[in-house]
Amino acid sequence: MIKIDKDFYENGQVLFIGYSGGKNRPFSKMVYQAFTNNGIKVYALNNKAEGDYDIKVYGSLGELAEVPTTAYVLLKKENVPGILKELGARGIKRIQFQSSRSADASVLEACAQKGIETAVACPLMKFGSGLHRLHGFFAGVR
Amino acid sequence: MNTFSLIRTRWSNEKVMTAVFGVLAMYLLPSWIRQPESIPAFLAVVAAALLTDSVLNLIRYRCPVCGVSAAVTAGVFYILTPGTALWVRIAGVAAALLAGKHLWGGTGKNPINPALAGVLAIGLVLPMNAPDFTPQLSMLPALLLSIPFIRFRPYAAAGFMAGMAAAMVFRQNFGFDSYLEYGAIFWGCLVLTDPVTVSPRPVLGAAGGAFTGAVSMLLSGSTVVMAGSILIFNVICFIADRYLELPSGNMRRGKPVDGVIARNSEVLFFDLSQSKEEIRQGAEEKAAVPEFSSQEILQRLERNGVVGMGGAAFPTAEKIRSVMRAREEKKYFIINAVECDPGLIHDGWLMDRCMEEICAGIKLMQQCVAFEVVVMAVKETKTIKACNVNVAKVPDYYPAGAEKELIRLVLGRELSVGDIPAEKGILVLNVQTVFAIFEAVVRNKRALTKFITVADMNTKTAYVVKTKLGADIRAVADKLPLTPGNIFAGGGAMQCGNVYANDVVDKHVNFIAVSRFPGYKESVLCSRCGFCDKNCPMGLGVSRISQFVEQGKLEKAKKYRPESCLQCGNCSRVCLAGRNLAARVRAAKAG
């Protein structure tokens, strides 16, 4: 069972790493809206700075005046190790990975070694509606 | 700041297609009651369509996409192929989706109706019964429920029915039964209103629909003929929409947008500007207006930093100078008190409380420029206190308060895209700007504060707030009794953006709102409904512009004159695919 409560998102903020302005934009937007409609402020990040029509997308952590302590990662797992070091250095304490495609055992192990708490679950299981919540129920997201 | 409309239609392509599928099911209901054993066959055809569509969409988009349009294709296909073997239907609907839709690029890109293409293909190689259009009362609910879909392509649907009616006259076959018999209403409302394959052009739609209807009726009983004639019409529409002349781009009358505030809610005022003066409630004293020369007025306006408060923030003194320089014989002054954005209430509030000062500001402008006509424009639904100026009531729609639209409504003059009203001798000032003119000239007060509307869209309440320019937007929201939620700010409810850390109330901000994030899901499936084009007050080809912007073809987008866009946000509000189209048009405008 994965427990994700509001405390996981300290100060009601989350850093959304891998916000897509490309073909995954609809999904990224859905997650963004689910977070924000539940009172969680989202800082969207994409190092390609693809941007979006509605949402400000930061190109790097350096652009943020204040880095949240929780991150949500929507990247392919081969791209994750490259950012873990920087996230740890910028004070990230908790990371939520979208799915096992974003984090395998080695990634979770690397997070544990850096003292970063992890969860692997789609945010929509917690903050979405309808079928997403049902999916979350069967996936054990509480 | 990227802006978008906070007000969105509750409809989406998926909901519309689900409704169409429901109507098709209603149509089949009588036959299911008579022959329940036909239900599994129908479900098998629908399942085959959904499976085919899902697999092909997964290959194309690499993510799951709603396949309800495939279910509709299956429904139409099933009804039009009675008495055909189940395996033929299953193979036929799969082939129809592949050849009639996905080979052309998927949903919204196919030039022909896939179900009818499948029907035609089967009808040409296999003997096929005519569909059951036997008149029966149990069919009426489906027929009635199909009527609202006329909204999508009214000209083609009306033409189709007129063509059928003409054919009936020709055949001397009258009576309501014959309408039912030939399914005129049903097919006119469902297939001839498919926005993907039928043109929205009035003449082409009506003529093509009439041709299709007449042919179908004159050669009644032949599904192949009906399918063939509709497919020919589809191809003509495809060619016409791709190659014929673009929309004219003339200003059209907009449509009312429901307000975001409950009508009976009490409006509270908060002064967060820390100014010592109080807003007078029902001022009785006449605001004294000393005599000033034109130069004195303009100098005071410049010194006190007065700019347009409607959102454009153009320096007012500069605008007045343009009017003074204009070579036009007659000069006009329109006070814009329309407040057409559905989220704004502060201009109306200001007029209720400070009309004396506003009237004094108008007098100052008359001292500055010898206007032939001075008119205060208000919504037809608004009553205002008597003031010594003419009042023009304008229809209550959005965006009636857009500068050129207001000029058209009040003076009956059409200005083209490149025309600047001030250079034509027409001064249009927002009512709050006129108030600021009074304060700057008579009270010699710097324009460092402004009135804005702060709305809680979760509870449908709103407040009028006087705030300092430069105030932190989040701090302003924190001082008011608002429910927790996302904070948006912009020119109005139709032009808002996300508020980020350090965003401040500047001269462009008229509206702050707490709201749920509007449902912009940015679907990949555009159904070409054309609502964006229909609702554009400038008559722009919004769908084409956004299509080219997404393809990165800004040069092609420029041909559709995005520079005429008012950024009213109407296109984003009505988009059934949940796309922020106004932002795409803005990208074309800037590109």
Sign of CA dihedral B191, B194, B198, B202: positive
pLDDT score recorded for residue B291 = 84
User: Cβ separation of B500 and A56 shorter than 8 Å?
Assistant: yes
The DSSP secondary-structure symbol of B137 reads: G
**Which of B218, B243, B268 marks a domain boundary?**
B243
- The answer to which of A128-142, B72-86, B166-180 has the lowest mean pLDDT is B166-180
Q: What is the pLDDT of residue B103?
A: 93
Strand-pair partners of B393: B378
Confidence at residue B98, expressed as pLDDT on a 0 to 100 scale: 94
- Asked if A30 has any chain B CB less than 8 Å from its own CB, the reply is yes
Please indicate, yes or no, if residue B279 is contained in any of the structural domains. Answer: no
Tens of pLDDT, residue by residue over B113-151, are: 999 999 999 888 887 776 666 667 777 888 889 889 998
Determine whether the interchain pair B485/A27 forms a contact, defined as Cβ–Cβ distance below 8 Å.
no
CATH number at residue B317: 3.40.50.11540
Q: Which residue is associated with the tokens 């979350």?
A: A136
Reported ipTM: 0.74
Option in A26, A36, A65 nearest B517 (CB): A36
Note whether B484 contacts A66, CB cutoff 8 Å.
no
* Residue B388 Cα distances to A90, B346, B375, B435, angstroms: 64, 22, 10, 15
Phi, psi of B545 (to 5 degrees): -60, -50
Asked whether the beta carbons of A58 and A44 are under 8 A apart, the reply is: yes
pLDDT, tens digit, for every residue of B81-116? 888 899 999 999 999 999 999 999 888 889 999 999
In contact, A99 and A120? CB cutoff 8 Å: yes
User: What's the confidence (pLDDT) of residue B281?
Assistant: 46
Q: What share of chain A is helix, strand, coil (3-state, %, to 5)?
A: 40, 20, 40
Domain identity same for B422 and B295: yes
Predicted pLDDT at B284: 44
Do A54 and B519 lie within an 8 Å CB cutoff? no
B271 within domain boundaries: no
Residue B18: strand, helix, or coil: helix
Digit-coded pLDDT (tens) for A67-78: 899 999 999 888
**Are residues B441 and B481 both part of a single domain?**
no
The answer to whether B501 contacts A56, with C-beta atoms less than 8 Å apart, is no
Whether residues B33 and B156 share a domain: the answer is: yes
How many Å apart are CA A73 and CA A98, to the nearest integer? Answer: 6
User: Which residues does B contribute to its contact with A (CB < 8 Å)?
Assistant: 2, 4, 61-63, 484-486, 497-498, 500-502, 516-517, 519-524, 580, 583-584, 587
**pLDDT digit string (tens) for B259-305?**
777 666 677 888 888 665 555 544 444 556 788 899 999 999 999 99
Residue A114's pLDDT is 87
User: A32 and B517: CB-CB below 8 Å?
Assistant: yes
| Contact of B156 with B201, CB cutoff 8 Å | no
B90 with B201, same domain: the answer is yes
For residue A39, the distance in angstroms to the closest alpha carbon of chain B comes to: 6
Give the DSSP letter string of B81-112: STT--HHHHHHHHHHHHHHHTGGGTSTTT-SS
Structural domain containing residue B471: 451-515
Residue B438: name the closest of B253, B290, B240, B217 by CA.
B290
B70, B95 in Cβ contact below 8 A? no
Residue B148 and residue B116: Cα distance in Å, rounded? 22
Between B321 and B184, whose confidence is greater? B321
**B428 pLDDT exceeds 60?**
yes
- What per-residue confidence (pLDDT) applies to B176? 65
Q: Are residues B151 and B238 in the same domain?
A: yes
Residue A38, chain B, CB below 8 Å: the answer is no
The mean pLDDT value for A26-34 works out to 87
- Full DSSP string of B240-291: HHHHSPPP-------B----SS-TTPPPEEEE-S--SSPPPTT--SPPP---
Q: Would the pLDDT of B370 be above 60?
A: yes
B429 and B471 in a single domain? The answer is no
Considering CB atoms only, which of A33, A39, A54 is closest to B580? A54
> Is the residue at B468 inside a domain?
yes
Is B49 part of any domain?
yes
pLDDT at B288: 65
Distance CA B416, CA B249 (A): 10
Query: Could you say which of 3.40.50.720, 3.40.1550.10, 3.40.50.620, 3.40.50.10800 is the CATH number of the domain covering A13-139?
Result: 3.40.50.720
* Positive or negative: CA dihedral B129, B135, B136, B141: positive
Domain final residue pick, B387, B420, B445: B445
**Which residues of B fall within a CB distance of 8 Å from A23?**
61-63, 524
Structure tokens at A76: 């392919």
d(CA B584, CA B562): 10
pLDDT at residue B312 in the model: 79
Is the domain of B151 the same as that of B54? Answer: yes
Looking at residue A85, what is its pLDDT?
85
Same domain, B459 and B311: no
- Average pLDDT of the segment spanning B577-586: 91
pLDDT for residue B251 is more than 60: no
Cβ <8 Å between A53 and B580: yes
The mean predicted confidence, pLDDT, of chain B is 87
Cα distances from B482 to residues B454, B460, B474, B495, in angstroms, run 9, 10, 11, 20
Give the model confidence (pLDDT) of A95-120 as tens digits: 999 888 888 888 888 888 888 888 88
SS3 B453: strand
Residues B475 and B437 in one domain: no
Q: Identify the residue with better confidence: B165 or B465.
A: B465
CB atoms within 10 A of CB B214: 21
Confidence band of B414 (pLDDT split at 50, 70, 90): confident
Q: Answer yes or no: do B113 and B218 share one domain.
A: yes
> Does the pLDDT at position A37 exceed 70?
yes
Residues B325 and B198 in one domain: no
Q: Give the pLDDT of residue B585.
A: 92
Q: Give pLDDT, residue B282.
A: 42
Phi, psi of B373 (to 5 degrees): -135, 135
More confident residue, B250 or B135: B135
Question: Which of B445, B462, B478 represents a domain boundary (last residue)?
Answer: B445
Question: Three-state SS for B214?
Answer: helix
Matching residue, tokens 């009312």: B256
User: CA-CA distance, B4 to A9, in Å (whole number)?
Assistant: 27
| Structural domains of chain B, count | 4
When scoring A25, A53, A101 by the number of chain B Cβ atoms within 10 A, the one with the most, hence best to mutate, is A53
Residues B231 and B331 in one domain: no
Place of tokens 């920087």: A86
Beta bridge partners of B451: B466
Chain B residues in contact with A30 (beta carbon < 8 A): 521
Question: Are B435 and B350 spatial neighbours (Cβ–Cβ below 8 Å)?
Answer: yes
Given this model, what pLDDT does residue B338 score? 92
Q: What is the pLDDT of residue A6?
A: 57
- Please report the DSSP string for B505-570 in residue order: --TT--EEEEEPPP-----S------HHHHH-TT---HHHHHHHHHTT-HHHHHTT-GGG-----H
A39 touches chain B (CB under 8 A): yes
| Token pair in block for residue A1 | 């069972």
